[in-house]
Amino acid sequence: MARQYTLHRSTPTVTSGIDYRAALNEEQYAAVSSPPGRALVIAGAGSGKTRTLTYRVAWLLDHGIDAREVLLLTFTNKASREMTERVRELVPHDTSALWAGTFHSIGSRILRRHADDLGFTRSFSILDRDDQKSILNAVIGSLDIDTKQRRFPKADVLASIFSLIENTGASLEEVIASRYDQFYDWIAKIEEVRQGYIKKKQATNSMDFDDLLVLTVRLFEENPDVLDLYQQRFKNVLVDEYQDTNAVQGRMIDLLAGKHNSLMAVGDDAQSIYSWRGADMSLILGFPVRYPGAKVYIIEINYRSVPEILNLSNAAISANTGRFEKDLRSSREAIGTRPALVALPDPSTQAAFVAQRMLELRDEGVPLEEMAVLYRAHFQSLDIQMELTVRGIPFSITSGLRFFEQAHIKDVAAFMRFVVNRRDEVSFLRMVSLLPGLGPVAAAKLWSEWLKSGWAEKEELPPKWSDLFLNFKVPKKSAKHWEQLCFTLDELTPDGEFARPSAMIFSILEGVYKDYLDASFDNAESRRADIEQLSQYGGNFDDILEFLAQLSLMSSTDGQPTGDQSEADEGKVTLSSIHQAKGLEWKVVFLIWLVDGQFPNGRILEADDDELLEEERRLFYVALTRAKDELYLTYPMMNPKSYTGDVICRPSQFLEDFPAELVEEWNVGNEDAWSDDEPF
């Protein structure tokens, strides 16, 4: 029997010197200084959630906890960076051993160390949505599926279905019945595709984003020794935005916390708005039951909004029954102006009011970037976009492709991903398909030749790619370009070693991709600048595996709530869906289209589901609490664009959830008030 020996780590001789009582309010201090154990912190909107988590980490380090024993789980890379940077600024301790990151990045980090236990190699590729679609299309093509009579779901839809299954623990039948009932007759074939997709991922040594969570949980459940390793290390687990966790993330937290580790989960049940992604609000509401004896701390002092806005927000959310009781209190003085409730004749007049009021506020000294228009669905912004364009008011829309999702960035990444993971069929096909004359059939033949060579299964790199690939048969039209591709691959792995990421990107751009850019895009210069920027980003990495992992994680919105948006451009009004606005704030907020059928959403009203309606109300609450100084609630009384002709709009039922005296009704006036004789 092995001798037991306990290592007693020394208490740090240097502390931060932080006066925690002075730096925090009483509610924050109670949470930050709480003893080891299980704790749930309900941090209301604008109450300093990030500050609380950051100071909790500092408190732990100041009280003898080794940084390596702390795990901080977040939902966005931005939140992780902000918190770790703040901790470094607060404490003199070495925090390099602290693990902080998104659930997906932490899962990826763990799986890189233990992939062999699951039948993968440590150089596995991480699939983004386009990669998933490619594999799914290949699987569909290999199955006997007759789509002539009825439509079979596209790969993108299948990926969403499979993601819901993984993240919620629901069966295929349950997901189809609840969200995709039009495909109910296809269940057997869809299951065939799902099983084929799972096998294909294993065969190509690839994982999708859901696998980074699901396989981490499986690793822990099937390998108690591995789980024990991480439970022994992470004695203190902290979780941000706990209300957004899904079943898999909840299980991952439970496993890491085990029976004895400290766990602090921070979140706000009133801002749980992602059930459509699989978020399970019962995890935060049921925390005290799942962890008997857990302490619940409630932080109610709001540093963002004036009292008039908070009074309205508190009253609005009180209509929900499934929630923790709290009453946000403002740290600011009242300004004497209540939120405005503005009924307009129609959508175009609503847009005109918003635009005119923006110009007035700008003249009063409110910068345009401190104003936002929020809406339930993106299409509701069309009239606003048109009106702002006509009036010359600059605006930005928080939508569109992220930098790492762009096609040319993913093209360049395919070269690097293939040389790292020689079984990555998706990346190989994407890479060779860039060459002229190499269509899907020719590309597939090249892949077959590559597999026959035997190098796909070898751990070591080929001595020279060109010695091997130049013997492959390619169409005459492709021969010259194929030769250049071979020499480019040689540059990526000189002397049988991986070049640095920045050097790889330079070789790809100058070797084969520059000509493709010039021939394929009318904005080639702009795209080239993007790739050069990618090369600069790659300069921060020495390890190609780490670089590719970060590239894949940052290219996806999956598992990351869309509140992780860059701030609006200076001098521009922000137009945003409420989901994308979560976590952001502005001095002035216009919340538009507050009519039944638009907000709350019509499908939810038809479903007559109390839980879904309460989530819609939480979404309404999130919108209200984005405003710091002024809030305008607007709705059209008539919608002339309905297919059935002019339709009278019923004001949103959410407007009935609070006393009328909490808002100030505005009477915009009659048609004459909007004449061209009086400029706005």
Could you write out the DSSP letters of every residue in 244-309?
Answer: G-BHHHHHHHHHHHTTTSEEEEEE-GGG---GGGTB-THHHHTHHHHSTT-EEEEE-EESSS-HHH
Q: What gap in Å lies between CA 584 and CA 29, rounded to an integer? A: 24
Q: What gap in Å lies between CA 534 and CA 608, rounded to an integer? A: 48
Q: What gap in Å lies between CA 566 and CA 398, rounded to an integer? A: 8
Give the 3-state secondary structure of 632-657.
EEEEECEECCCCCCCEECCECHHHHC
DSSP-assigned states of every residue in 375-411: ESSGGGGHHHHHHHHHHT--EEES-S--GGGSHHHHH
Residue 67's nearest CA partner among 234, 254, 226 is 234
Contact 313, 589 (CB under 8 A): no
Q: What gap in Å lies between CA 222 and CA 96, rounded to an integer? A: 30
**Residues annotated catalytic, as ranges:** 49-50, 240-241, 271, 626
How do strand 301-302 and strand 329-330 relate by DSSP bridges? parallel
Contact 522, 38 (CB under 8 A): no
Indicate the burial class of 424 (C-beta count within 10 angstroms; 0-12, 13-18, 19 or more): buried
Centre a 10 Å sphere on the Cβ of residue 629 and count the other Cβ atoms it contains: 19
What was the pLDDT predicted at 562? 36
Centre a 10 Å sphere on the Cβ of residue 71 and count the other Cβ atoms it contains: 23
What was the pLDDT predicted at 14? 59
Q: Say how many residues make up the chain.
A: 680
Cα 674 to its chain centre, rounded Å, is 42
CA torsion sign for 435, 439, 442, 444 is: positive
Q: What is the pLDDT of residues 261-291, one digit of tens each?
A: 999 999 999 999 998 888 999 999 999 999 9
Q: What gap in Å lies between CA 462 and CA 478, rounded to an integer? A: 23
Considering the entire predicted model, what is its pTM?
0.80
Question: In which residue ranges of the chain is pLDDT below 70?
Answer: 1, 7-14, 147-150, 399-403, 522, 554-569, 641-645, 670-680
Q: What gap in Å lies between CA 536 and CA 528, rounded to an integer? A: 13
